[in-house]
Amino acid sequence: MEYFLIIVSAIFVNNILLAQFLGICPFLGVSSRLSTATGMSGAVCFVITLATVVTYLLNQYVLVPLGLTFLQTISFILVIAALVQMVEIILKKISPSLYQALGIFLPLITTNCAVLGVAITVVTKDFAFGGAAPHMLNLGQATVYALATSLGYGLAMCLFAGLREHLAGCDVPKAFRGLPIALITVGIMALAFLGFSGIV
């Protein structure tokens, strides 16, 4: 039951883009076409889940026992950067077609604050679902949380890319062209997602 609540909460109620404002830069950058948006979502999904598992273990078995939790920020970002680099090298070797699809997005992901944001959230924040007492996530829950969050990222990204493809053909006033109209559209989408609040 708790896993189900984590999934619903992470995808809809606390959508990472529309409610938590993480990973906005790539969201606005690559969402003008649906095909690039799906590619980016796939790459983000993969990296967020992997990075969260690795940084969770690093935190639990290295930083906490040694009393070095103040090094979280610096060690997590280095782990993420190394991980992205490694994923890129491995993908290139074992699955050139997947590398073709995700390749150009991978270097961008290091500076996607959604990755670092989720990694820090799962090791610092207390979660409370379905009336249970607030507690830290265990490894399984953290993994599910990371996966669901990144699916929520993909959902918002693909919905927005669909809207933006339609927007491209509209006659928008000059001062609104480009980003302003995109931001206003996201605002209205966020208003719609606000309707999910309170269900978990």
Whether residue 45 contacts residue 147, with contact meaning beta carbons closer than 8 Å, is answered with yes
Closest CA to 91 of 136, 53, 42, 151: 42
- Can residue 40 be called a binding residue for another protein (CB under 8 A)? no
* Tokens matching residue 103: 């390749």
Q: Which of 57, 64, 86, 183 binds another protein (CB under 8 A)?
A: 183
User: How big is the chain, counted in residues?
Assistant: 200
Q: Which is nearer to another protein, 49 or 72 (CB)?
A: 72
Map the footprint of another protein across residues 118-177, applying CB under 8 A. 120-121, 124, 175-176
**Cβ nearer to another protein, comparing 58 with 181:** 181
Token pair in block for residue 131: 């009336």
What are the DSSP E strand ranges found in the chain? Answer: none
Closest approach of another protein to the CB of residue 176, in Å: 6
Query: Which run of H or of E encompasses 116?
Result: helix 113-124
Decide: is 62 part of the binding site for another protein (CB under 8 A).
no
Residue 126, phi then psi, degrees to nearest 5: -90, 135
Residue 180 sits in the site that holds another protein (CB under 8 A): yes
* 34 or 181: CB nearest another protein: 181
Q: Which region, left, alpha or beta, applies to residue 93 given φ > 0 means left and ψ of -120 to 50 means alpha?
A: alpha
> Which residue from 22, 50, 146, 148 is in contact with another protein, where contact means CB under 8 A?
22
Only segment of 39-47, 107-115, 131-139, 149-157 that touches another protein (CB under 8 A): 107-115
